[in-house]
Structure formats: C-alpha cells, structure tokens
Amino acid sequence: MQSNWQSSFFRGVALELWRRIIPPEMTAAEVDFLERTLHAGPGAHLLDVPCGAGRHALELARRGYRATGVDSSEESIAQARAASETIPWALRDMCDLPWESEFAGAYCFGNSFGYLDRPNASRFLAAVARCLKPGARFIVDTGMAAESILPSIGVKRWHRAGDIFMLSENRYHPAEGRLDIEYTFIHQGEADTRPSSSYVFTVAEICRMHREAGLETVELLASTSGEAYQVGAPRLILVTQKRLPG
C-alpha cells in the first residue's frame, strides 16, 4: 500500500459521497458534544484537525467560537474557504502544526487518526500537544480501535448515497496491524477504484501514545451521547487533557 494514498483519494466522488451521508443533524449533535466536553468557554480558539470541508469548524464559528481548520486535501480546503473566508483554513499535513500553546481545545473527527502508522501517530499527537494551552482538552474520534473494528470486520460492504454506490473490500494484515480497504465508487455509469490504508491499535495503545505526548486520558466514550466505551462499540471517542506543568 502506498504511504501517500490520501493525496489522490480525497477528491471528487469520494468527497461528494461523504457530504451526502452526513446530515446537518449529525454535525449539530457532534458540535453539541464538543461544546460540552472541551470545556473551552465562549469565544475560545479551537483547532479542527483534519477539518475536511470544515463542517464542525463552521458550526462552532456560528456559535461564537474562534476556529482554525487544517487539512491536506486541496479540494476540501477550497470548499471550506468558499463557505467562510473569515475562518483561517490551513492547507498542510496534520502532523505539521506550527502553533504553540495557541488553542483552548482541539479535536480530530472523521476517523483520520487511523490513517497514521505508529511513528506518524506519535508525531501528530506531539504536534497537537504543542498547540494546546496547558489543561486544554483534545478529542479523537475513531472507528479503527482494535476492539471496535476486528470483532465485526467483513470482506465486502455496499453503501449507497443517492445515485452514488460504493463497494468497500477489506484485507487485514495482522503482522502489520494494518487494514487495507479498496473502495469502488460507481456514479453516472462510471466506476472509480481507490485504495486506502488504516492502522489498527488497541485502546490501551492509543491511550499510551496520547500519554507519551503529554495528553492524559479523561474518559473513553462510545458515542457523542456519552455512553462508556465497551468492546464491540463501533466508535471510540477518546477525551484527553494536556498535562499541566509541574
């Protein structure tokens, strides 16, 4: 699997399908959760990384927060800029964050954490920790925790969003802890096949990587409704807090 598959994956039909399957109500519920859980306070500066087309940052800005979005997809950042010219949108690698003690909270939604192997996941978490003020919280949302994905992993799955069909074909490599997924999009009579790769870590390993970066675990959740995480839950939401000095 090529290491830079993201550079060609997140464009065109893949982004259009993603936009279609997420209703506004889901974004509103997730932003409600971010407000409750980040404890950042009105008007706080928050980091969305990676931000995609900025659906969370846009809603947070509407609620009076300052938001900054980071993504490596040129098409996603162009869409975000078209939606708001006042929010700072940065086209850059999610592991390359230039700020220091700038943000009162940060979050990584949309399963992007799973795209990183162990060294890059550690780079990313260290970069996020540098960006946060002491005591600020960080939230990671992922469906790639081993306790979530492995009990229910299948070989093939079909999805449909309007006139877009998507077939996903999975191949898990136990020795590497890597899940390769080949996606085939069918739209307007044309088929487009794109590879992807995600890394599977246990919940304990994910918590340990955060701790090594100076981010202490606050809670493990299974949804934005607040249920505690359990084995088999399709989603892990890890809430951490930047360690205070001393």
Give me the pLDDT at residue 165, please. Answer: 93
Q: State yes or no: pLDDT of 133 exceeds 90.
A: yes
Q: State yes or no: pLDDT of 111 exceeds 90.
A: no
| Residue 71 pLDDT grade (very low, low, confident, very high; cuts 50, 70, 90) | very high
Query: What pairing do the DSSP bridges indicate for beta strands 45-48 and 66-71?
Result: parallel
Please give the CATH number for the structural domain made up of 148-198: 2.20.25
* Average pLDDT value over all residues in the chain: 93
Please give the CATH number for the structural domain made up of 6-144+201-242: 3.40.50.150
Contact partners, residue 57, CB within 8 Å, separation at least 6: 46, 48, 51, 67, 68, 69, 80, 87
Arithmetic mean of pLDDT, 173-199: 92
Give me the pLDDT at residue 20, please. Answer: 84
Q: State yes or no: pLDDT of 3 exceeds 80.
A: no
Comparing 11 with 7, the larger pLDDT belongs to 11
Q: Are 215 and 240 in contact (CB under 8 A)?
A: yes
The pLDDT tens digits of the residues spanning 19-61 come to 888 899 999 999 999 999 999 988 999 999 999 999 999 999 9
Query: What pairing do the DSSP bridges indicate for beta strands 215-221 and 190-199?
Result: unpaired
Give me the pLDDT at residue 36, please. Answer: 97
Domain boundaries, the chain: 6-144+201-242, 148-198
